[in-house]
Structure 1
Amino acid sequence: MAPRPFFESVSGRLPELLAPVADLAMARAAIAGHADAIYVGFPEFNARGRSALLTATELDEIITLCHRHGLHVYIALNVLIFEHEFDTLVGPLTEVLQLRPDAFILQDVAIARWLAELGVRIHASTQMTIADADSLAFYSQLPFARFVLAREMSLDRIKQASEKAKELRREIECFVQGALCVSYSGQCLTSESFGGGSANRGRCAQSCRFLYDVVVDGKTVARNQYAVSARDLNAAPVLDALIDAGVDCFKIEGRLKEPQYVTASLLYHRNRMQGQRRDDTSTVLTPDLAFSRRSFPGWISGVNHQELVDAQIQSHVGEFIGPVVQIGRDAIVVQTGSDNSSASNSQNDIIPGDGIAIVNADGSRTGASVMQRDRDGDLMTLKFRRGASLQSITEGSRVFRNHSVQFERHARSLLSRDLPAVPVDVSAVAQIGQPLSVTFTTGDGCSVTVQSDAPCVRAEKSPLSEERLKAELGALSGTAYTLRTFRLHADAPVFLHQREWKKCRREAVERLDLIRSAHAPITEVDVANALSRIRERSATAHTGPYAAHAIDQQGQVISAAPSAKGATAGRLHLLVRDPDHVILLNASEVASVTLDFEYGRHLQKSLDILKEKGIRTGIATYRVMADGEDLKLIEKHRPDVVLVRNAGALHRLKGYPAELIGDFGLNVANSISADFFLDQAGLQRIVPSLDLNAEELLQMIENVDYSRIEIILHQRIASFHMEYCLYAKYLSNGSDYRSCGIPCHSHRLSLRDPEGELHPVYTDFACRNTMYRSKPQSMAGHLQTLIKKGVQDFRIDLLDESKEALRHLLDRYTSALAHPETGRSLIREEGWSEGQLRRNERSIKHRKAARR
């Protein structure tokens, strides 16, 4: 099926409904649920590494089936790509391109440039952290046809992004159903820092679903909490508002879910999009019955820190019924008319055999199967088998239905039926002396015309009737089509043998199938040549051992001092989060200091101290920036350096008179992406992605101007980066900064993980939270190799070190920079971790084989 042209908006009709698919069964479920499109993972390289590893043959079967039934197919290649993987991708990418998917969903800028070179339609994944209109505008330098927005965006932020997208003739896509990540997608390094995996590589360890203790000022205030396990998204209450906002596509998350979840979610949201909110299908097949962590509209309705996380829930509980108001020996009474209850609608009533999950005040859970149900108004009595374990249940315990007999029966019925057929309009032209001409046309514009072998002749006694020809040409059972309309044009009574009619029908169906699933004329040579062209352009963009030119506030060119490969010295930069650290620093030790304070009140004083010491000053932008959040601090204080952490800030700082350094949050994991940010986006240096291990980092540096790389020597990795505020959740009853009382100004909160490690949580100016790793990670063991390759700029990221610890770090690393051969022994002496730098990542394919 031919893809839509680039930038053709689907506005003006209902948004496209996009379904998750991991295998053929889920593809059939998507068709049964009347999806407009599906997305499925690229073999080995996609953000759901735990999903089925499809072969090219299996992917072909899915694409062919979906195209025959009128669905678009998008391939999710939404991970970062490392330097050594480009050449190995040529063959698999060629195979997938020949299957003619309609678009690719991408995270890595390098793959976007590669596919754009081939003229392939590309969508920007939510992994690119498109959280504001400026980020969307920045990445519009690349020919992305669609942007998948961050799930943290409120309706107002979505409207602003939609306006920018329409101005740029692009589309936007929003999630409306499924799991919510507590951390911004593309910015979560918890799996990387905890276990050597990476969410940016399809290896999310689900660290947000762990139990944590909440510790405030050294005291445990809550134990065994799913403190960062976000509830699931169900945007049904705000679908009309999203349509009015101009959203072009509604996306359902869930490639790791079951087929019945896919069908239920699609029918549920399709009915609501069409205004059918109370029919039997939409109530019986509510997706909460397939999988739900107590769903709600998420951030779309605005920030509410009390609602985002239910600290007692991290897995499926189903639909909420109500609180327990009375407990008997083998029964409970539930108040079903309570807020957010799903059971007040009689069509959704509980019946014998349904499964119940009861979540108690201490977080424990009781499960039971209903034997009998009685109702008295809003009160529902649920009776269980004799001897059911109800001892832990108390008044106020919450009751959920996590299994529905009706749901399972209805879902099985839908999935066992023939797949919905594609309506086809058939017309036939019969003229004496000419072959019968038959045209099949589908609603999405696919059309084929076939002819009989024999000509039509004048009828003597059994003329060709419209009724008989309609019946024969419309006999489409067992195909992907169903007859919608039929017309016969005949200039006189004609005769044609019935076998010719059948032959025309078979040939029309075969040709329609072929045109709707045809392979693209692309070869491995095309793919390899496109990669070569991009590499050549990247190589010629580098101008030698000088940093990119930036202009300072006096209009002078800023450039780092040239240094040749093999040099044995490096420049040390600091990122400081504590104002007390500033007074301890000396110009002889550090080349620059970038301030990343939680609040702005100490900023001016710290900048003045640094300037008096003759140290170049810097300010870090937000790690994520929303519309309406400005760069006033940078504009006011005019630092020498700006640490740019998001694409929106980079868009707005274009041409700004300071040295612009791109931080690790830009996710530069290879030389082609580095070229884009350095030579097209105007950065002077880039900090590579923290997803790289030491070997992968060195491979990348080989192909980048070494003077434009900055390496973090020492840090406590910033793991979760969240719109959610733990301070507001645990130290107030407030929903946001206007009602929380700002407890972050006077308290320090940390999370203790199941291993007993304590991870501090810091806020930023916008009340976003970042959880930092408990233990530091050091790059000192690779310092000698990096300096020999020509890297000259190194950074230490400070957090909450004491004055003595800071002085110790500076002494050790200053010495190591002067004598890089001592770096390995420094690691041993200090007992520092190298974290993911020593990770030996096997491919997803090999990991799955090992599990089998």
Structure 2
Amino acid sequence: MGKHVEILAPAGSLDSLRAGLAAGADAVYIGGSRFGARAYAQNFTEEQLLEAIDEVHLQGKKIYMTVNTLLKDKELAELFSYLLPYYQRGLDAVIVQDMGVLRAVRSWFPGLEIHASTQMSISAAEGVRFLKKHGVSRVVPSRELHLKEIAEMKKEGLELECFVHGAMCYSYSGQCLFSSLIGGRSGNRGQCAQPCRLPYQIDGRPEQDLLSLKDLCTIHKIPELIEAGIDSFKIEGRMKQPEYVYTVTKLYKKYTDLYQKNGQSGFSVSAEDERKLKEVYQRRGYSQGYYHQRNGKEMLSLARPENVSTESQKKEGAYLPELLPVSGKLWLKSGCPVSFSVAAGSAKVSCKGEVVQEAVRQPLELSKVEKQMKKTGSTGFYFQDLEICMEEGVFLPVQSLNQLRRQGLGKLTEALLQPYRREWTKENGKEDESALHPEQGAAAEENRDRSATYRVGVLVQTREQMKIALDAEMVSRIYVEDPKLCREAKLSKKCIILALPSVFREDTAEKWEAYREEIRAYCDEVLIRNWDSLQWLRDRGFEKPVRTDYNLYVWNQQGKVFFREEGIRGYTAPVEFRERELKELEIEGATLIVYGRQPVMITANCVQKTVRGCDGRSGWLYLTDRKQKKIPVKKYCDSCYNVIYNPAPLFLADLAEDVKRLGMWEIRLDFSTEDKEEMQAVLKAYQAGFLQGDPELGVPFQKEFTRGHWKRGVK
């Protein structure tokens, strides 16, 4: 029934790869030695990965490689030589997060499919449409989406790959800086320390794991997932053991095939198979994820179990590659070279060996010749048919038969793999210094004028904060999140920038239709935080300048070019870069955030709903961590998501001279929980440090603050 659905298995090791294939996976995804979002997985060396590509292709399956972290320029300069051997060998696709990487790979390696990682946080059909224009063939959307949203995305014509089983992040993937800002280990670099698994308090209640989701299990929902249009069922688990990969893959394959054969009326999951899923890995229980609900307390594992895992392990090497059937024919005629042909699928090869002799003592026996030729060993083949045409009374050394068999099967292997091989030439792919470090010449727009004095912008979240910003002489640019404030702010001569929501899903887009006139008439620019909202604006003919916030990451020169080619007026500098890295990136055209509590998570689940129940009112609440720090959480109930903030604000006013040497186009102060007195104190400190040049006056205005990544960066 219907189309084929790919079962995509994780492969954190060669044993896991073979386990997935043995269980019936149609494809595997795997990480190389660098640039993958599982930095602590076993991963593959170059030699192992090249062998894996061949092994997968000999079985007629596909193999995708993760390059789904953010890359700095020095790393991007090494990416071409890193990927080239895999491209030539026949890698089927790369999974990417970084738009600079996307641009580079698309330019360098024609014919190599590009899959957009879930780290891109694509949450609406508009985002899929945006990526389609840039050569993406498959999108892995945010895991927080409802099946109705998935079905709407599918109308854009790209393949959709969705997670169906395994661990779940509490934050929208790609929108989490919790591990980075708290512990210095960046999830955007594959090094997440999982602070979401720690206990937290609220309202003085006992500690609970308020940010820890249960694992995803959708095996009962396979029919609905298929009918929504999902092309690939993705199983999470590159850090898990081969037995987990084998069991989960086998069961999802079994029940996907069952539905496609028998339909809904013949579909049911047995209690025995449910038990197998739980036994192979049971950390904190299972939920069916977001496919049928927006959020909910039942999705969380609030209590910490004594036995964190019951994952069983199978002995390494237990999963052997599936053998490929071949047909062969051997001719032995006295006075003629021995001849051997072998075929599999559409491939057929022939080879010749030594001249066959008349036997002096012991002629060859048919049964012994057959036995010798069928010794295929570790070649990955077995003889389904072997025809031997042999005269009586002939002789040939056994060594010659072995050599002929090896030669024939080796040629067959190459023939089967040849369709996957690629040649790379400068004519069909571009790899040069200009691609990595493009000129910054006449094409640069006004905001790259190095002679211009930097501007001061503030982002506000309340009417009171906006009024203070309007009265502040040093502030020339005001970012507002509430479109209803644009009309009031526009009465001033200051530049008003409307900041669109951090998450722009289908229902959010529908609500924002009511604000189209405010956007056109009362704001000068727009700040976007996702690709979905950019495409939404373009679909409606929006022509005013668009800028991007920090979470549309620009970590390299290729990324800067991508944004410029998209007509984006300016970007926000990375918040995970240290001072030296910001200099190397050359952020003359960028906004640099120099103050504010930085978002560490953007979440579909709601702390309010988990602890107190939904009240439908946007506002603030506070988590308390193990060190008794208060973590602000803002509820955006109009779009139903939370933003969790760093407990301490970034403060750089007393480092103003160092900051100004970066030559950024704008500095930005982000206000969130600050009341009138706090905001005025901050503005006073930054006026002293940045405008009056007096670092003594720009000293920290409060006891607790952070330098963010100004000095330490991330690995």
TM bin, normalised by shorter chain, reads 0.7 to 0.9
Alignment match, 2:603: 722
Alignment match, 2:478: 593
Amino acid at match of 1:640: D
Q: How does 1:125-144 map to 2 (within 5 A)?
A: 125-144=117-136
Tell me, yes or no, if the aligned pair for 2:122 and 2:530 is still in contact at 8 Å: no
Alignment match, 1:6: none
Distance 2:664 2:136 in 1: 33
Amino acid at match of 1:620: A
1:541 Cα deviation from its structure 2 partner: 6.6
For 1:150, what is the secondary structure of its paired residue? Answer: coil
For 2:192, what is the secondary structure of its paired residue? Answer: coil
Which one of 682, 688, 693 corresponds to residue 573 of structure 2?
A: 688
Which one of 530, 533, 555 corresponds to residue 646 of structure 1?
A: 530
Alignment match, 1:259: 242
Which one of 228, 233, 240 corresponds to residue 250 of structure 1?
A: 233
For 1:771, what is the secondary structure of its paired residue? Answer: strand
Amino acid at match of 1:112: L
Per-residue CA deviations over 1:723-782 (Å, capped at 9, x if unaligned) read: 1111122122xxxxxxx342x34x632111111111111122211011111110024455
Distance 1:673 1:770 in 2: 26
Distance 1:594 1:314 in 2: 45
Distance 1:719 1:644 in 2: 18
Per-residue CA deviations over 1:794-826 (Å, capped at 9, x if unaligned) read: 21111121111111122222333324x545873
Alpha carbons of structure 1 residues 822 and 316: separation in structure 2 relative to 1, 3 Å: farther
Alpha carbons of structure 1 residues 731 and 122: separation in structure 2 relative to 1, 3 Å: same
Per-residue CA deviations over 1:71-109 (Å, capped at 9, x if unaligned) read: 422221110011232234454344554554322111111
Tell me, yes or no, if the aligned pair for 2:243 and 2:280 is still in contact at 8 Å: no
Tell me, yes or no, if the aligned pair for 1:429 and 1:436 is still in contact at 8 Å: yes
Distance 1:127 1:314 in 2: 29
Per-residue CA deviations over 1:170-218 (Å, capped at 9, x if unaligned) read: 3211111110001000000111221222100112110110100023xxx
Counterpart check, 1:626 vs 2:498: no
Per-residue CA deviations over 1:608-650 (Å, capped at 9, x if unaligned) read: 4322333332221111211243232541312222111110111
Tell me, yes or no, if the aligned pair for 2:98 and 2:559 is still in contact at 8 Å: yes
Alignment match, 2:550: 664
Which one of 670, 675, 678 corresponds to residue 797 of structure 1?
A: 670
Q: How does 1:418-433 map to 2 (within 5 A)?
A: 419-426=320-327, 428=329
Per-residue CA deviations over 1:99-152 (Å, capped at 9, x if unaligned) read: 543221111111122222222332111111122211111122322222112111
Q: How does 1:137-286 map to 2 (within 5 A)?
A: 137-164=129-156, 166=157, 170-215=158-203, 220=204, 222-275=205-258, 282=273, 285-286=276-277
Alignment match, 2:593: 712
Counterpart check, 1:20 vs 2:10: yes
Alignment match, 1:580: 464
Amino acid at match of 1:583: K
Q: Which runs of 5+ in 2 are unaligned?
A: 259-266, 358-363
Distance 1:145 1:33 in 2: 26
Distance 1:142 1:774 in 2: 38
1:521 Cα deviation from its structure 2 partner: 6.2
Q: How does 1:410-559 map to 2 (within 5 A)?
A: 417=318, 419-426=320-327, 428=329, 436=339, 438-442=341-345, 447-453=347-353, 476=376, 478-484=378-384, 486=385, 504-514=404-414, 530-535=431-436, 538-539=438-439, 543-544=443-444, 546-547=446-447
Q: Which runs of 5+ in 1 are unaligned?
A: 1-10, 319-401, 458-463, 548-561, 598-602, 733-739, 843-852
The size of the alignment, in residue pairs, is 688
Per-residue CA deviations over 1:690-726 (Å, capped at 9, x if unaligned) read: 222222122112xx6x2x3111121101111001111
Alignment match, 1:755: 627
Alpha carbons of structure 1 residues 542 and 673: separation in structure 2 relative to 1, 3 Å: farther
Q: TM-score, normalised by structure 1?
A: 0.73
1:429 Cα deviation from its structure 2 partner: 8.9
Counterpart check, 1:673 vs 2:673: no
For 2:155, what is the secondary structure of its paired residue? Answer: helix
1:481 Cα deviation from its structure 2 partner: 2.4
Amino acid at match of 1:272: Y
1:229 Cα deviation from its structure 2 partner: 0.3
1:255 Cα deviation from its structure 2 partner: 1.5
Distance 2:440 2:456 in 1: 29
Alignment match, 2:264: none
Query: Which of 798-807 and 51-60 deviates more?
Result: 51-60
Distance 2:548 2:634 in 1: 21
Amino acid at match of 1:693: R
Amino acid at match of 2:125: A
Distance 2:714 2:245 in 1: 32
Q: How does 1:111-122 map to 2 (within 5 A)?
A: 111-119=101-109, 120-122=112-114
Distance 1:279 1:180 in 2: 25
1:531 Cα deviation from its structure 2 partner: 4.6
Identity rate of aligned residues, in percent? 24
For 1:311, what is the secondary structure of its paired residue? Answer: coil
Distance 1:154 1:469 in 2: 61
Alignment match, 2:93: 103
Query: Which of 181-190 and 131-140 deviates more?
Result: 131-140
RMSD: 3.7
Amino acid at match of 1:302: Q
Tell me, yes or no, if the aligned pair for 1:261 and 1:290 is still in contact at 8 Å: yes
1:157 Cα deviation from its structure 2 partner: 1.2
For 1:583, what is the secondary structure of its paired residue? Answer: helix
Alpha carbons of structure 1 residues 89 and 478: separation in structure 2 relative to 1, 3 Å: closer
Per-residue CA deviations over 1:230-258 (Å, capped at 9, x if unaligned) read: 11011111112222222221111111212
Alpha carbons of structure 1 residues 286 and 719: separation in structure 2 relative to 1, 3 Å: same
Distance 2:152 2:268 in 1: 28
Distance 2:123 2:197 in 1: 23
